[in-house]
Amino acid sequence: MSEGAGPSKKTKTYHFHTEWEEDFFFTMSFSKCVCLICQATIAMPKKGNVERHFRTVHGKYDTTFPPKSELRKKKVKELKSQLSGQQSFFTQQTSKAKAATEASFRVSHIIVKNKKSFQDGDMVKEAFVEAADSLFRDFKNKAEITSSIKALQLSRSTVTRRCEAMAEDLTQQLWKDIGDCQCFSLQLDESTDVSDTAQVCIFIRMVFTDITAKEELLTVLPMKEQTRGEDIFQSFKNFIEKTQLPVYKLVSITTDGAPAMVGRLNGFIAKCRQDDAFPDFLNYHCIIHQQALCAKMLNMKEIMNVATKIACSIRARSLQRRLFRAHLEKADCDHSELLLHTDVRWLSRGKFLQRFRELCPEIKEFFRVAGQAEYMQLNDGQWLLDLAFLTDLTNMLNDLNLELQGKDKTVINMISSVNAFKRKMQHLSLKLQRHDLINFQNLASELEMQGMACLQLDSARYTEQIDNCLSEFDKRFQDFSLFEPVATFMCYPFREDAEVDSLASKIAKLFHLNSSGVEDEILTLQADIELKSRDHGQFWNLLTEVKYPNMRKCAASLTALFGSTYLCESSFSHMKIIKSKYRSTMTDEHLEVCLRLAVSSYCPDYASLADSIQCKSSE
């Protein structure tokens, strides 16, 4: 406004008066002045406007329905009822279409979560309709229910679009959490899909200010060419630049032991450390992989080689396999098949040996009846004792492997399980020296079958195997020697015998903190009477950022650590089902969409997704 100009003129507001309904057949509907007779709308609810419309267009109504008469009042009420019915009809149709769209999102989510094809939506709809015909046969509104089911949009293209929209919604939820989290860790692994495309799977574990953690699929990076360390790093670097991943929050990276990942000069980890964008982070070799490698160091190749050869001689040919199954059926065995062993599967050897040993008598009888040359080892008492011992030991290793698997396993839980296993093995070694076989059921059973006493057992032969296994565990888990005392302190920080100097130094070295500051906070924490009395489950969340900045960072970083690449391995199992030989042409983008919906703990916002698109019923 220029200087000296008068005040601006206020806009006048007009209000509708209810008496105009009977005087001029007008009403207010959704903030609009609507004629009850012809549904025409008036831009501004002024008496002059509504009266002019009524007199010029519907003037004869004054004669047919005289003013102030009961007939006029009845006509106004009838016209208002008709208008309300028309509006409710369209509202109801819109509501039904929205409900059908939301239902299609929910069904599509179930289809993909169960790793089924997009085109299975049509089959699900057909099954719905057929089931409704029986389930709602005696319902009065059966036709309405059936109509609602038929309105579901579940064609192949629709399910595809729904899944893309839901995956995008989950991705937005993930990136919101990444922005809110205090720190995070990553786990990476690589596998090849059915079309020979290498897929690098990356999971993230986020820790928030209340020291709670959440694990989610971050991304899947397809590798079209080579899969060297520098190739994986460059693909990940491109992802970081594209998504603006806050790498400064990174605490650790867990991988398998492949050279492409842990190579000293050109491995993925080495390339990350060479990049200035990455902070100082910890890196670990997957604990489950290390445990599996320790199990392979048992020096009993003569047992595995012979057992594998015998199993393959039976399973390799179809006729031989059928005859053996028939033999087991006649013998009324508990098992109907002989398992095969593969090094790729973690639990394979233990299950294979247990089944082989249980079927040893049937295997010998089968070879005798078939007139085939028997394997001398099947009649060798020492070989059978070695087989029984190896079966017992691999079963124990399998139990440890299963204990290490699972979601939300912290590195503290996993190291505790490994340490517990080592102590058990030491204890069992001492018991074995005393010829106490209570924990070696297969070995004790074999001795009984051979009519031998426990004292006749050459226990030194087997204690040596246990000692070799323990030695391999000690060698492979040296990475955690610095980490273990820190984890022990963080689980119970009020131990009076804690060596504060040494502990502060290890914490500072592990998480790149100031040693003197950590030492001061440990002493302050151990003297805090109020904190000692609080619930341990919420303990680290009670520490204030101002008073205990280092301790909070240590607690958050420790919570963020991945102990294994279990999530990657399990996602590859999902991937093999999703992108099978029947869906080998699936694009990398759709593979990531299906994988995210299959493994994510987030739930799509179905209502918002339905609101965001134009809702239509299926034809």
Q: How far is CA 561 from CA 137, 245, 253, 413, in A?
A: 56, 18, 8, 11
CB burial of 245-279 (b: ≥16 within 10 Å; e: otherwise) equals bebebbbbbbbbebebbbbeeebbbbbbeeeeebe
Amino acid at 207: V
Write out the two tokens for 549.
């900045």
Q: What is the pLDDT of residue 11?
A: 55
User: Do 309 and 452 share a structural domain?
Assistant: yes
For the residues of 353-399, what is the DSSP string, one character each? Answer: HHHHHHTHHHHHHHHHHHTPPPPGGGG-HHHHHHHHHHHHHHHHHHH
- Which residue do the tokens 């239902």 mark? 103
Q: What is the pLDDT of residue 94?
A: 60
For residue 566, is it within any domain? no
Q: What is the pLDDT of residue 535?
A: 53
Point out the domain boundary residue: 89, 113, 146. Answer: 89
How far, in Å, CA of 45 to CA of 28, rounded? 9
Q: What is the pLDDT of residue 142?
A: 84
Q: What is the pLDDT of residue 376?
A: 87
User: Do 300 and 154 share a structural domain?
Assistant: no
CB-neighbour burial class of residue 195 (10 A; exposed 0-12, middle 13-18, buried 19+): middle
Specify the number of domains making up the chain: 4
Query: Which ranges constitute the DSSP H helices of 405-528?
Result: 411-433, 441-449, 459-476, 483-491, 500-511, 515-526
User: Do 387 and 339 share a structural domain?
Assistant: yes
User: Do 124 and 227 share a structural domain?
Assistant: yes
How far, in Å, CA of 398 to CA of 68, rounded? 92
Write out the two tokens for 95.
């509501």
Residues of the chain predicted below pLDDT 50: 1-7, 90-91, 617, 619
For residue 381, is it within any domain? yes
For residue 399, is it within any domain? yes
For residue 572, is it within any domain? no
Which positions ≥6 away from 151 have C-beta within 8 Å? 96, 97, 100, 617, 618
Element (H, E) at 217: strand 213-223
User: Do 442 and 331 share a structural domain?
Assistant: yes
User: Do 261 and 122 share a structural domain?
Assistant: yes
How far, in Å, CA of 603 to CA of 170, rounded? 7
Range of the domain at 315: 294-478
This prediction's pTM: 0.78
129 touches 149 (CB < 8 A): yes
Considering only CA atoms, give the Rg of the chain. 36
For the residues of 331-348, what is the DSSP string, one character each? Answer: TT-S-S------TTSTTH
Query: Which ranges constitute the DSSP H helices of 114-202?
Result: 120-135, 142-150, 156-180
User: Do 488 and 473 share a structural domain?
Assistant: no
Point out the domain boundary residue: 416, 443, 478. Answer: 478
How far, in Å, CA of 402 to CA of 347, rounded? 8
Q: What is the pLDDT of residue 619?
A: 47
254 touches 234 (CB < 8 A): no
For residue 8, is it within any domain? no
Q: What is the pLDDT of residue 592?
A: 94
Q: What is the pLDDT of residue 91?
A: 47
User: Do 243 and 381 share a structural domain?
Assistant: no
100 touches 618 (CB < 8 A): yes
475-530 pLDDT, tens digit per residue, is 888 777 777 788 888 777 877 777 888 888 888 888 888 888 888 888 888 787 77
Coil vs helix vs strand at 408: coil
Element (H, E) at 269: helix 268-274
How far, in Å, CA of 142 to CA of 498, rounded? 73
User: Do 263 and 120 share a structural domain?
Assistant: yes
User: Do 75 and 106 share a structural domain?
Assistant: no
For residue 12, is it within any domain? no
Amino acid at 78: E
Which positions ≥6 away from 605 have C-beta within 8 Å? 169
User: Do 274 and 158 share a structural domain?
Assistant: yes
How far, in Å, CA of 270 to CA of 261, rounded? 8
User: Do 238 and 115 share a structural domain?
Assistant: yes
For residue 570, is it within any domain? no
Q: What is the pLDDT of residue 330?
A: 87
For the residues of 571-590, what is the DSSP string, one character each? Answer: HHHHHHHHT-GGGTT--HHH
Point out the domain boundary residue: 74, 89, 104. Answer: 89
Neighbours of 396 (CB within 10 A): 19
Element (H, E) at 238: helix 229-243
433-483 pLDDT, tens digit per residue, is 888 888 899 998 888 888 887 777 888 888 988 888 888 888 888 777 777
Query: Would you say how long the chain is, in residues?
Result: 619
For residue 215, is it within any domain? yes
